Amino acid sequence: MSTTPADHTPRADGRADDELRPVKLTRNWLDHPAGSVLVEFGGTRVLCAASASEGVPRWRKGSGLGWVTAEYAMLPASTNTRSDRESVKGRIGGRTHEISRLIGRSLRAVIDYKALGENTIQLDCDVLQADGGTRTAAITGAYVALADACATLGKTGALTGSVAAVSVGIIDGVPRLDLPYVEDVRAETDMNVVMTGAGSFVEVQGTAEGAAFSRAELDALLGLAETGCAQLTRMQREALAGA
Amino acid sequence: MSTTPADHTPRADGRADDELRPVKLTRNWLDHPAGSVLVEFGGTRVLCAASASEGVPRWRKGSGLGWVTAEYAMLPASTNTRSDRESVKGRIGGRTHEISRLIGRSLRAVIDYKALGENTIQLDCDVLQADGGTRTAAITGAYVALADACATLGKTGALTGSVAAVSVGIIDGVPRLDLPYVEDVRAETDMNVVMTGAGSFVEVQGTAEGAAFSRAELDALLGLAETGCAQLTRMQREALAGA
Amino acid sequence: MSTTPADHTPRADGRADDELRPVKLTRNWLDHPAGSVLVEFGGTRVLCAASASEGVPRWRKGSGLGWVTAEYAMLPASTNTRSDRESVKGRIGGRTHEISRLIGRSLRAVIDYKALGENTIQLDCDVLQADGGTRTAAITGAYVALADACATLGKTGALTGSVAAVSVGIIDGVPRLDLPYVEDVRAETDMNVVMTGAGSFVEVQGTAEGAAFSRAELDALLGLAETGCAQLTRMQREALAGA
Amino acid sequence: MSTTPADHTPRADGRADDELRPVKLTRNWLDHPAGSVLVEFGGTRVLCAASASEGVPRWRKGSGLGWVTAEYAMLPASTNTRSDRESVKGRIGGRTHEISRLIGRSLRAVIDYKALGENTIQLDCDVLQADGGTRTAAITGAYVALADACATLGKTGALTGSVAAVSVGIIDGVPRLDLPYVEDVRAETDMNVVMTGAGSFVEVQGTAEGAAFSRAELDALLGLAETGCAQLTRMQREALAGA
Amino acid sequence: MSTTPADHTPRADGRADDELRPVKLTRNWLDHPAGSVLVEFGGTRVLCAASASEGVPRWRKGSGLGWVTAEYAMLPASTNTRSDRESVKGRIGGRTHEISRLIGRSLRAVIDYKALGENTIQLDCDVLQADGGTRTAAITGAYVALADACATLGKTGALTGSVAAVSVGIIDGVPRLDLPYVEDVRAETDMNVVMTGAGSFVEVQGTAEGAAFSRAELDALLGLAETGCAQLTRMQREALAGA
Amino acid sequence: MSTTPADHTPRADGRADDELRPVKLTRNWLDHPAGSVLVEFGGTRVLCAASASEGVPRWRKGSGLGWVTAEYAMLPASTNTRSDRESVKGRIGGRTHEISRLIGRSLRAVIDYKALGENTIQLDCDVLQADGGTRTAAITGAYVALADACATLGKTGALTGSVAAVSVGIIDGVPRLDLPYVEDVRAETDMNVVMTGAGSFVEVQGTAEGAAFSRAELDALLGLAETGCAQLTRMQREALAGA
C-alpha cells in the first residue's frame, strides 16, 4: 500500500512515509473506571481511563445535558530526561493545559449531550512512556475508553460517531505520517489532525517549527492525515468489536 | 473589491464575507517600552508592548542568541460580563497559556536570533476590550511593536519578515473573514491563521465548534485567511512607514 | 492662583508647588461595563471600570444591602522597567493588595448600601502607564466610573457624596502637590490623602521615606492635599456634567 | 495626669481617654533569636523575635549595607473567633501584607544601614492574643527586640533612634488613645501612628470607618498619639535599661 | 526511681535514660478559645488551643456526629536557625502535614463522636520554641486543651479516655526517653509513641535515622515509652484536677 | 506453610492470615529511566522508575556524597472512585507528602552515599491501580528499580543491603498480613513495616484506626511483618537474578 520514494533518506524505523507505527489498543487495563484503554503508538504508551459519575458540573445542572471532560499528564519518567512533576511545581504548564483542552474538545465533538443525560464522563490520559505523538495517541485511545464507558452507562446512543488523531510533519522537506520523537524534534512543520470516523475534520493544528510552510505543503500534510486517521478508525472499530 | 452574495443573510455589521473590520494600528501608545502599539480590529482593542532588555534567560546564556517571548491577558472588564482576574485566582487559565504560547511562536517565526544577539524582547498583549479575534489582533499588533523595539535596539536585521493573523469561520454554512464576538459564538468552525508577509503559513488552528468540517470547507477558510492576512500585512507596512 | 517661591529649585515640569498636573477624565472609554473612565494625571493613565451585577457576596445575602469592592493592578509595561505579571507569579504582592483595599474603602465611604440594594459594583483600576500617583488617580477616576454605574443601575441615590485623592510630599524640604515619578522616588515624606467633596478626610496615609517628619510639615502637607482634592472634586463634577 | 470629662460615657475598662492600657515588655522570651520580646498592650500579646544573620538579600550584595525586614502574622486562635491559617489557605491576605510592610518600614526608619554592615535582621511579630492594636504593639515590641539584636551583633551604632506606635480613634465622637477590640470595632475613625523617640512622625495611617473626619478631629487624634508614643518611648527605654 | 548505668556517657542535661524533662502544663493561657494550654517539655514550648464551634464539615452534616481536627505549625524563630514561614512560601511542607495528621488522629482516638454531637473542635498546636519532641509535647498538651473544650461545651462524655505522647530513641547504642534537640539529631533510631491513659497504643512511629534497628531494640524503646506516657498521663490528670 | 485457624471468618480472597497476595516484579517496564519496575501486590499496581542524573542538590555539592529521593503519586483513576489530580488542585496533600518521605527514607537506609558519589537517583512511584498496600508495594518495587539504576551507573557498591515493606493489620480481632483495600478500610489497627533483607527494622508505623492496641497485639503484628518482609526479600533477589 505504501512506498518510500528512492530519492530521500529512509525513516530510522524503516517505515514508509505514509505508514503508521504499530498501534495497540488494550481495553479494560484497569479494574475501577467505567472504561480504560492502554494505547500504544510504537514506543508511546498512554493509559486512558474514562470515569463515569452521575451528575454534571454546577453550571450545567438541571439542563438535562451531560458533560465530557479530559485531563492529560505525563509521568515524570515517561520522557527521555526526567521531567518535574506538575503537582510538585504547584502549577500546570501551558502545554499540559493545551493538550487537555484539545482532548476534551475532540471527544465532545462526537457526544450527544442529551442522549448522555445528566452524567459526566471524565477522561484521564496519563502518558506512561513518551515517544512522540502522545496527544494523538491519547485522543485515539480515549475514544475507545469513552465508548466503553458509554456502554457501561447504558448510553451507547450518546456517541454520534468516532474520533481518531494522528500527527504529520515535514522532515527534510518530506511530509511524513505519525512522527516518533526523533522525527518530531527535527520537523520543520508539525501538525496534529483530529478526524471523525466519517472523514471530517475536528481539529487541525499546524505549526511551523522552522520555516513557514506553503499551501501545497499544507495540502500534502492534510492528505497524509486523512490516510492515517482512516486506518486508526478501523483499528478502533476492531478493538471495540473484541470481547 | 468584495461582495456579499444575494443568497444568504448579510453580516450584522454590513461587511462582505471576505471583508476585514476597520483596523487601526497606533504606534508609541506608551512612553516606557521600546515599542508599543494599540491595535484595534473593530471593537477589539489590544495594547501591545515590546520591552527590550539586555541578556537572555539562563538556559540560553553564552549562546550568542537572543530571545523573544510573549504574554497575553485580558482585563477583567474587557469582556461582555466581567471575568475574574487571573492574579486573584492565583493561576493562569488554559486559554491564556495557549494564546500566550501562540503569540510567542508566531513572532519567533520571523526572528533571526543570531542577529538579535543576547537580547530579550518581551511582548505583553493586554486586551483592553474584547469583541472577537483578540489573539489575531494581538499577533498583528505585536509584530509592529516588535519591529519598533528592534529598531530601538538598532537590530532591524533581526527581523526576517513580518507576521499577521486573522480569524475565519463558518457561520450558517458561510465562510467568513474576521469574526466579531456575535459571529464567533455562533460559528460552527473557527480557525485562526498566522501568515508571514511573504504568504507562507506559520500557524493554522482550526476547531469544529459544532459539526466537523469537510476538506472543501477547510480549503475555503484557508483562502479567506490568505486574503485577510495579505491586507493586514499592507496595513502593518503602512503603519511602520509612518513617523 | 499658585506661585513658586524664589528660594528653591523649581519643579522639573515647571509647575508651582501647589499645582496639579494636567488632569483628564474620559468617560465611557469601554463598551461593556456600567461605567468606565480613563483618568490621566500627567503621564499616569489608569483605566477605571465599574461593573455592576445583581446580587451580593454570600456573607451579605438577604441583608438588603449592596456591596462595592475594588481591584488595582499594573500592566507589566506600565512602569519604567517592565514588572513581572502577578498572574504569572501566582500571587498578588503586598503593594497591590494594599492599594486595592485603599480604593475599595475610599469608595465605600460615599456609598449608602441600603439605597444601592442587593447589587454589587466591582471597580477595576488597571494602570496602563505609571508616572507617580497611580493610586490617587485611580480613586479619583473610579469615583466617576462608580457614579456612572450607579446611574446605569438607576441608583443615583446610592451615592452620599464624592471622593477624590491626591498625593503630596516633601522634596528637598519643600512640600509639593501631586508628585510625578521623578519626585516620588526622591521624596523624604510621601502622603496620600483621600477626601470627600465636602472637604472631610476619608484616608490619610503618610510615610517617612527618608527622615521622620515634624507636626508642622504634616500640617503643611494636609493643607496642600485639601487644595488639590478641592480642585479634583470640581473636575469630577464637570466631567459628570458632560454628556 | 489624665481625666475623663463628665459629659460622655466612660470607657469599658475605666481608662481615661488619653490613657494607655497596661503595657508590658518582657525581653529574652525565646532562647534562639538574637533578640526577643513578648509585648503586651492590655489583652493584646505579640511575640517579637529578631533573628540576625550574616549577609543580605541578593539585590543588596556587595553594597556594604545591611537590611531589616519584618513579617507579621496572627495565630489562628488569637482572635475572638478562630481565623483560618494563611499557610493552609496558601496565600497571605492583604491585611497581613499591609501590616508586615508597615512594621518593616517603621523599623528601617531608625536604622543606619552602613553601620549595620552586610547583616540582615529579620523581625517576626506573631500575635498570640489579639485585643486591638496588634500592629502598634508589634512595632513597639519589635523595636526592643531589634535593639537587643543589634547589641548581640555588636552593632549598637546601627540604631539612629527608637520607634514606638499607638492607635487612636474616635468613638461616639470622642477621641481616644490605644483602642482595645471593643472600641476598635465601634470607632468612626481609626488611626495608627508611628513616631520616633525624638517626637517626629514615621507613619500616619488614618481611616474613616464610618463618617469622614474633619481637620479638627484629625488634629485631636494626632495630639493623643503624640502623648501615647512619648509614654511608650519611656517604657522601651526602661525595658532596655533592665538586665 | 531512675538511674544512669555507670557504663555509658551521661546525658548532657544530667537526666537518667528513662527520665522525662521537666514538664509543665499551663491551662487557660489564652482568653478566646474554649480550651488552651501552654505545654513545656524542657525548652520545648507549644501553645495548644482548642476552638469549639457548632456544626461539622460538609461531608459530615446530618450525621449527628462531631469532628475533631488539628493543625501544627512552628513559629519562624522557634528553631535554632530561623525557618521560613510556610504562609510566605505558599505551601505547607511534608513534615508539617505529617504532624498535623498525627495529632488529629491521636486525639480522635479518645473521642466519642456521637456524644460530642454535631460540634467541631479544632486544635491548633503552635510551637513557640523548639527543643526536640515538639509533636509529642503538642499531643500531650492538646489533650488537656481538648478536655477543657469538651467541658466548656458541656460534653465531657465525649472523651472516652486520655492520650499522651513521648519520644524515645537510641543514642550511642543506649535507649533513652524524651529526646531534646541535641540528642534527637544524633539518634540512630527515633520513635514517637502515643498511648492512651489506659496503657494501649494509639500510634507507634519508629524510624531508623542511621542503622536499622533490631527487634530487641524496638522492644526496649516501647518499654521506655510506656514508662514515659504513664507519667505524662498522671501529670495531665493533675493539671485537669487544678482550678 | 500457613494456615487459617478454624475459629474465625476466612479472608475474602481465601488467603491464610499470614499469606501475601500474589506478588509480581516486572523489571525494565520503561525504556528511558536507569531502572524501572512494575510491581504488583494482588490488584495493586505501582510503576517505579529510578532516574539517575549526575550531580546533587545545591546543599550537597562538593561533599563527594550522592543523594536518593522519592516521589509517590496516584493516578486519578487508580482508586475505587476517581480522585482529583493534585496538579490540578495546585497542592500536594498530606498523605502524598507523608508517603513520598517514607519511601525516600526507606531507600536511603540502604545507600552508601560515598560509594554513590555525587550522583542523584530520583525514584518515582506512580500508583496505576490501588487495592491496598500501595506504599509498601512502592517501597518493595522501588528497591529493585534502585538496584538496577545503581548497576546502570556502575555503582553497585552504593547498596549496603535491600529493603522491602509490607502492611499488617488487625481485622475483627485477627492479625493479618498484606491487607487489600476491603480489609484495610475495616482494620482496627493498621501498620506498615519496612525491613532490611538482613531482618532489621527501618520503619514501623502503626496506627489505631478504631480501638487502641495492646502490646501483645503489637508484637503479633511485628511477627507477621517479619514473615512477610522475608518473603518479599526473596522475591526481590529472584527478580534481580533474572535477565
Against chain A, the chains showing at least 3 CB pairs within 8 Å are B, F
CA–CA distance from C25 to each of A165, C45, C194, C233 (Å)?
54, 10, 18, 12
CB contact, 8 Å: E53 with chain D? yes
Mean pLDDT score across all residues of chain E: 94
What's residue C4's pLDDT? 46
Check F97 against E100: CB less than 8 A apart. no
Read off the pLDDT of each residue in F107-111 and give the average, rounded to a whole number: 96
* Residue count of chain B: 243
Question: What are the cell numbers at E194?
Answer: 502515643
Give per-residue pLDDT as tens, C133-180. Answer: 999 999 999 999 999 999 999 999 999 999 999 999 999 899 999 999
Between CA B47 and CA B137 the distance in angstroms is 10
* C98: closest CA of chain B, how far (Å): 14
Assembly ipTM: 0.93
CB contact, 8 Å: A55 with chain F? no
Helices (H) and strands (E) in chain A, counts: 6, 9
- High-pLDDT (> 90) share of chain A, %: 89
Going by pLDDT thresholds of 50, 70 and 90, the confidence category of residue F28 is very high
- High-pLDDT (> 90) share of chain B, %: 89
pLDDT of B1 > 50? The answer is: no
Give per-residue pLDDT as tens, E141-170. Answer: 999 999 999 999 999 999 999 999 999 999
Asked whether the beta carbons of F228 and F141 are under 8 A apart, the reply is no
* F110: closest CA of chain A, how far (Å): 23
CB contact, 8 Å: F195 with chain E? yes
Strands A174-177 and C23-27: unpaired
Task: Please name the residue of chain E whose CA is at the shortest distance from the CA of residue F226.
Answer: E215
Check A218 against B204: CB less than 8 A apart. yes
In eight-state DSSP terms, residue D159 is B
- High-pLDDT (> 90) share of chain F, %: 89
Asked whether the beta carbons of E39 and E129 are under 8 A apart, the reply is no
The one-letter code for the residue type at C133 is: G
Q: F73: alpha, beta or left, given left = phi > 0 and alpha = psi -120 to 50?
A: beta
Question: What are the cell numbers at A102?
Answer: 484539545
Between CA E172 and CA E209 the distance in angstroms is 12
In eight-state DSSP terms, residue E111 is B
Contact list, D108 vs chain C (CB under 8 Å): none
What's residue C9's pLDDT? 79
What's residue C1's pLDDT? 37
- High-pLDDT (> 70) share of chain E, %: 97
A94-98, D24-28, F106-110: range with lowest mean pLDDT: A94-98
What's residue C174's pLDDT? 94
Give per-residue pLDDT as tens, D74-103. Answer: 999 999 999 999 998 888 888 999 999 999
Give per-residue pLDDT as tens, B198-218. Answer: 999 999 999 998 789 999 999
User: Which of E126, C128, D119 lies closest to B31 in space, CA to CA?
Assistant: C128
Between CA B120 and CA A9 the distance in angstroms is 37
CB contact, 8 Å: F208 with chain E? yes
- Helix residue ranges per DSSP H, chain F: 86-89, 94-108, 113-116, 134-152, 181-184, 215-241
Contact list, F222 vs chain E (CB under 8 Å): 215, 218
Buried b (16+ CB within 10 A) or exposed e, A82-108: bbebbbeebbbbbebbbbbbbbbbbbb
Give per-residue pLDDT as tens, F177-206. Answer: 999 999 999 999 999 999 999 999 999 999
Check whether F215 is labelled as a binding-site residue: no
Contact list, F49 vs chain A (CB under 8 Å): 75-77
Check B47 against C75: CB less than 8 A apart. yes
Q: What is the pTM of this model?
A: 0.89
Helices (H) and strands (E) in chain E, counts: 6, 9
Give per-residue pLDDT as tens, F200-234. Answer: 999 999 999 878 999 999 999 999 999 999 999 99
pLDDT of B65 > 70? The answer is: yes
What's residue A7's pLDDT? 62
Cβ neighbour number for residue C177 with a 10 Å cutoff: 25
Check D196 against C212: CB less than 8 A apart. yes
What's residue F94's pLDDT? 87
Give per-residue pLDDT as tens, A23-73. Answer: 999 999 999 999 999 999 999 999 999 999 999 999 999 999 999 999 999
> In what helix (H) or strand (E) does residue D44 lie, and over which residues does it extend?
strand D44-54
Give per-residue pLDDT as tens, D193-228. Answer: 999 999 999 999 999 987 899 999 999 999 999 999
What's residue E211's pLDDT? 84
Check whether E186 is labelled as a binding-site residue: no
Cβ neighbour number for residue E5 with a 10 Å cutoff: 9
Radius of gyration of chain F (CA): 18
CA–CA distance from D12 to each of D3, D16, D18, D181, F66 (Å)?
15, 10, 14, 11, 65
Q: B92, B204, B229: best mutation site toward chain A, by most A Cβ within 10 Å?
A: B204
CB contact, 8 Å: F94 with chain A? no
Asked whether the beta carbons of D29 and D36 are under 8 A apart, the reply is yes
pLDDT of B195 > 90? The answer is: yes
Contact list, C75 vs chain B (CB under 8 Å): 47, 49, 124, 126
Strands (E), E6-82: 23-27, 35-41, 44-54, 67-74
Contact list, D122 vs chain E (CB under 8 Å): 76, 82
Give per-residue pLDDT as tens, F58-94. Answer: 999 999 999 999 999 999 999 999 999 999 888 888 8
What's residue E209's pLDDT? 82
What's residue D178's pLDDT? 98
Asked whether the beta carbons of F67 and A71 are under 8 A apart, the reply is no
CB contact, 8 Å: D212 with chain C? yes
Give per-residue pLDDT as tens, E73-93. Answer: 999 999 999 999 999 888 888
Task: Please name the residue of chain C whose CA is at the shortest distance from the CA of residue D218.
Answer: C201
Question: What are the cell numbers at A108?
Answer: 465532545
Going by pLDDT thresholds of 50, 70 and 90, the confidence category of residue A3 is very low
Between CA B231 and CA B234 the distance in angstroms is 5
Read off the pLDDT of each residue in B151-156 and give the average, rounded to a whole number: 95
What's residue A70's pLDDT? 98
- Sheet holding A119-129: strands in order across? A23-27, A35-41, A44-54, A119-129, A67-74
What's residue B209's pLDDT? 82
* C31: closest CA of chain D, how far (Å): 31
Going by pLDDT thresholds of 50, 70 and 90, the confidence category of residue D144 is very high
pLDDT of E4 > 70? The answer is: no
CA–CA distance from C34 to each of C57, C103, D151 (Å)?
19, 18, 59
Give per-residue pLDDT as tens, A16-28. Answer: 999 999 999 999 9
Both ends of chain E: CA-CA distance in Å? 29
* E122: closest CA of chain D, how far (Å): 9
Going by pLDDT thresholds of 50, 70 and 90, the confidence category of residue C90 is confident
Burial class (CB in 10 A: 0-12, 13-18, 19+), E154: exposed
SS3 assignment, position D23: strand
Question: What are the cell numbers at F63?
Answer: 561533599
Contact list, D215 vs chain C (CB under 8 Å): 201, 222, 226
Task: Please name the residue of chain B whose CA is at the shortest distance from the CA of residue A199.
Answer: B214
Give per-residue pLDDT as tens, F6-24. Answer: 567 789 999 999 999 999 9
Check F71 against A88: CB less than 8 A apart. yes
Task: Please name the residue of chain B whose CA is at the shortest distance from the CA of residue A209.
Answer: B109
Between CA D169 and CA D42 the distance in angstroms is 17
Task: Please name the residue of chain B whose CA is at the shortest distance from the CA of residue A219.
Answer: B219
Contact list, E33 vs chain D (CB under 8 Å): 77, 82
Q: Which residues pair with A175 in a beta bridge?
A: A170
Task: Give CA angle at F210 (F205, F215), nearest 5°.
Answer: 55
Going by pLDDT thresholds of 50, 70 and 90, the confidence category of residue E126 is very high
Going by pLDDT thresholds of 50, 70 and 90, the confidence category of residue D4 is very low
Against chain B, the chains showing at least 3 CB pairs within 8 Å are A, C
pLDDT of D31 > 60? The answer is: yes
What's residue B85's pLDDT? 94
What's residue D3's pLDDT? 45
Which phi and psi angles does C208 have, rounded to 5°?
-80, 110
Going by pLDDT thresholds of 50, 70 and 90, the confidence category of residue F123 is very high
What's residue A66's pLDDT? 97
Task: Please name the residue of chain D whose CA is at the shortest distance from the CA of residue C211.
Answer: D109
Give per-residue pLDDT as tens, D36-81. Answer: 999 999 999 999 999 999 999 999 999 999 999 999 999 999 999 9
Going by pLDDT thresholds of 50, 70 and 90, the confidence category of residue C6 is low
> In what helix (H) or strand (E) does residue C114 lie, and over which residues does it extend?
helix C113-116
CA–CA distance from D44 to each of D49, D127, D179 (Å)?
16, 8, 11
Q: From the list A36, A73, A91, which residue is nearest F85 (CB)?
A: A73
CB contact, 8 Å: B212 with chain A? yes
> In what helix (H) or strand (E) does residue D218 lie, and over which residues does it extend?
helix D215-241
